[in-house]
Amino acid sequence: MPEFTLRKTALFVEDIHHDGGPAPDQPRRRAAIAALVANPFAGGYTADLQPAMEDLKPLGLMMTERLIEAMGGPDGIDGYGKAAMAGEGGELEHTALWHVPGGYAMRARLGEAKAIVPSAMKQGGPGTRIDVPLGHINAAYVRSHFDAMEVGLPDGPRAGELLFVLAMSRGGRVHDRMGGLTVAEVKGEDGLR
């Protein structure tokens, strides 16, 4: 069993009151939680990485709980996304370890989420930023929810570390007006529409 020793977590919360136009009835909230962990696979090649995804599920659940708390509870959370970054000595495939634990945790806590959890992966060192893509939790084609939240930590990921991120939002972009499928039209049957 690999050791993903947790070094630190950080929470980011944004309340968007307007974006150059009229203020919405309620500010839009976006939040993300980031965790820096040791990368037990750094510096070498491991053929079978998949079993390690199971070891990361408790981290995903803990991060999800803290993120929902930062969002003010689960009511109205209708957007989500995830991201991962490998520090020096890691490979891009190590970031893919986050697909199941990150997505599983948010789906388990947010109920019947149908849409794929958008994801971004990259390699970088301390201070490198990553855009966490956001999409609607039940229908990937809801244009008002196409968004991203930039996240980064000044001291990570260090060599031999991984940065894992989860993000959630409540509501679409403040002044969305690009048409397409609306939240009211979501059927939530196939994760697309």
Question: Distance between CA 81 and CA 134 in Å, rounded?
Answer: 5
Contact yes or no for 121/137 (Cβ under 8 A): no
Exposed/middle/buried for residue 17 (C-beta within 10 Å: 0-12, 13-18, 19+): exposed
118 preceded by a cis bond (ω within 30 of 0): no
Q: Which residue has the higher pLDDT, 185 or 125?
A: 125
Confidence band (pLDDT; 50, 70, 90) for 191? confident
Amino acid 110: pLDDT:
93
Question: Distance between CA 105 and CA 46 in Å, rounded?
Answer: 25
Confidence band (pLDDT; 50, 70, 90) for 112? confident
Say whether 61 sits in a helix, a strand or coil: helix
Say whether 185 sits in a helix, a strand or coil: helix
**pLDDT mean across residues, the chain:** 95
pLDDT in tens, 49-93: 999 999 999 999 999 999 999 999 999 999 999 999 999 999 999
Question: Distance between CA 143 and CA 176 in Å, rounded?
Answer: 8
Average pLDDT over residues 131-136: 98
Contact yes or no for 169/145 (Cβ under 8 A): yes
* Residue 190 clears pLDDT 90, i.e. is over it: no
pLDDT in tens, 11-38: 999 999 988 888 888 899 999 999 999 9
Question: Distance between CA 10 and CA 127 in Å, rounded?
Answer: 14
Amino acid 1: pLDDT:
63
Q: Which residue has the higher pLDDT, 191 or 134?
A: 134
pLDDT in tens, 147-180: 999 999 999 999 999 999 999 999 999 988 999 9
Amino acid 24: pLDDT:
86
